[in-house]
Chains A and B, each alone.
Chain A
Amino acid sequence: MKPPTSLKTSVLFPLNKDKILLLGLRVLAGLSVISLLFILFYLSKEAIPVFKNIESIKFFTDKSWHPLSGEYLLLPMIVGSLLIMAGAMLFSIPLGIFAAILSQFYAPAWFANVMQRLVEILSGIPSVIYGFMGIIVIVPLLARFEAPGTSVLAGVLVLSFIVLPNIVLISRNALSQVDAIHIDNAMSLGLSRYAIIRHVILPQAKSGLFTGIVLQSGRAIGETLAVLMVCGNVVQIPGSIFDPVRTLTSNIALEMAYAMDDHRSALFLSGLLLMGVVLIIILVAEKISPRENTV
């Protein structure tokens, strides 16, 4: 079977409809690139004034984040954002992939169906609701072990709940894309279900799984309100998972409404840093992304 890319060149009689569609697609694609550039431009424009008054090294060497007293330490919030995201992915990736394997290959049809619907509903719940549940359930629960409960761990747990449903959906989608003929072949060779999943399906679905995970990490690091509600928001590099932490996004949400001058610019810089972090994640992911295995 030829790959679908051959459509690009091998259509002999392109119709007018094709041309109109092509034009429309080009405009839309251009718009999305332009809007990204516009966001970058605007963020930079608002963030740059901060460098006139504050040496950039201060964002990493100041004693604390107290912009009104001239202290501009941003480093703990970069660490905080990365830590919460990494923690959440650590929880939700294995859980999500195993849940997808279960519903795709092991569970009886009715169960897989119910599960699919439930996960779809879960993925549609706004994250602020998860944050609310975090305050009411998770934080008091953690406070029993170590007061006050608003902590890195609370953030990680709430964020895991937020990204998990999407990871299940995307993983299941990637698993179901695997060509049925390979599965049939493997079965006719008498391989066990485990062996087929482990050696035939997972290698083929790898690239799809990976893309889904990268997209979800981007979402995790951008999540704001739920994290703000349960993390405690103290600006520090946490010493344990029970310590409070503030993320770049919470910092913007907490202080933007009241910020002026350099303080405001510094918050735009937080936003720019956040975009930078996401960009680095995507680039690194691109580099280490597994190639699709062709059998």
Chain B
Amino acid sequence: MFRTGLITTTIILLSLFVSACEQTANSPSTATLPSDQLTGELSITGSSTIAPLAAELAQRLESKNPQLRVNVQTGGSSRGLADIRQGISDIGMVSRKLNDNEHDVQAHLLAQDGVSIIVHKSNPVTELTTEQIKSVYLGKISNWQSLTGRDKKITVIHKAEGRSTLEVFLDFFKFKNTQIKPDIIIGDNEQGIKLVSRNPNAIAYVSIGTAEYNMKAGTSIKTLPLNGVEATTEKLASGQFPLSRELNFITKGKPSLLTQAYIDFSKTDEAANIIKDFGFVPVK
């Protein structure tokens, strides 16, 4: 009968499910096999700037150690820090320098990232001074004409509270977030690039890595030099570009075997090449 068939199927499926659950529960999650291979699970949470890089590094490490599982989740630098403090994750990703009140955790410098000012490709303005950028974001200059540009109103794009790019930007220009007069508030870098590439009169600030990647892909944006220094990964590497930030892995207490292995791997030459591919500058 149809009904009986249905019930039987359900019972079979359920029992399969239960036995599957039991299996995963029984298998050891963080034990190490007696070999030099890494085994177990590692969880990494934090900055969305670092996450894609951390995931790529994790994949390389996993391919060398088939028993290793690395779980990378985003949620911002603040979450990375909070998770480490509460012991929820093994490694935190924080895309800024640690503050003075945050030295209860250890930072492992991974790379440098720059924040660059971007405008539309067709914008005739080629350079802005620190003072000019300040005036634009404070609403004192609202037309491109005063900046040797076209007679058009400036569209000021700014980031939502809590983003680390925002913190770097505010820090550098000595802004308070309450002073800024934005026309558009965005979440992530890609959203900013999309808006600027569609609006010839917009100005925004995004991670240099993301900007360079998009310019290579032919998106209609350009980066503006700051204080005469071009916003490129080379200038960032040589330490000349002023608007930059640290990308850190953080841990608390004595790192476990797996944690240490991952962090050591992130400092190898192989990792350095991956870091460069992401538009960041590895630590020498």
Contacts and interface: CB of A to CB of B under 8 A. Distances in A.
Interface in A250-267: 253-255, 257-260, 263
Interface of B: 48, 74-79, 82, 152-153, 155, 160-163, 176-178, 182-187, 191, 194-195, 198-199, 201-202
Contacts of B195: 135, 150
Nearest to B155: A148
Given A234-B185, A254-B187, 15 more contacts: A147-B201, A148-B199, A148-B201, A150-B195, A232-B184, A233-B160, A233-B185, A234-B182, A235-B185, A255-B161, A257-B79, A260-B79, A260-B82, A260-B162, A263-B162
Interface stretch (A61-69, A166-174, A204-212): A61-69
A71 B185 contact: no
A80 interface: no
A140 B186 CA distance: 17
A271 interface: no
A135 B190 CA distance: 13
28 contacts: A66-B161, A66-B177, A67-B161, A69-B177, A136-B198, A147-B153, A148-B199, A148-B202, A150-B195, A232-B184, A233-B160, A233-B186, A234-B184, A234-B185, A235-B185, A244-B185, A246-B185, A254-B160, A254-B185, A255-B161, A255-B162, A257-B74, A257-B76, A257-B162, A258-B79, A258-B160, A258-B161, A260-B162
Given A148-B199, A257-B74, A135 B194 contact: yes
A149 interface: yes
Secondary structure dominating the interface of B = mixed
A259 B198 contact: no
A232 B183 contact: yes
A143 B201 CA distance: 10
Contacts of A260: 78-79, 82, 162
Of the four ranges (under 10, 10 to 19, 20 to 34, 35 or more), the interface on chain A belongs to 20 to 34
Contact of B161 (A136, A234, A253, A263): A263
B244 to A, nearest CB: 20
Contacts of A229: 191
Contacts of B74: 257
A81 to B, nearest CB: 16
Nearest to A235: B185
A43 interface: no
Contacts of B186: 233
A258 B78 contact: yes
A164 interface: no
Nearest to B48: A257
Contacts of A135: 194-195, 198
Contacts of A143: 199
Nearest to A149: B199
Contacts of A233: 160, 184-186
Contacts of B184: 148, 150, 232-234, 244
> Which of A69, A246, A255 counts the most chain B CB atoms within 10 A?
A255
B266 to A, nearest CB: 23
Contacts of B155: 147-148
A136 B78 CA distance: 33
Q: Output the residue of B79, B153, B155, B160 with the most chain A CB within 10 A.
A: B160
A91 B37 CA distance: 63
B105 to A, nearest CB: 15
Nearest to A260: B78
Contacts of B161: 66-68, 255, 258-259, 263
A197 B155 CA distance: 49
A139 interface: yes
A140 B199 contact: yes
B103 to A, nearest CB: 18
A220 interface: no
Nearest to B154: A147
Contacts of A153: none
A142 to B, nearest CB: 11
A225 to B, nearest CB: 10
A63 B179 CA distance: 12
A64 B162 contact: no
A228 interface: yes
Contacts of A259: 78, 161-162
Interface string A86-110: 0000000000000000000000000
Nearest to A69: B178
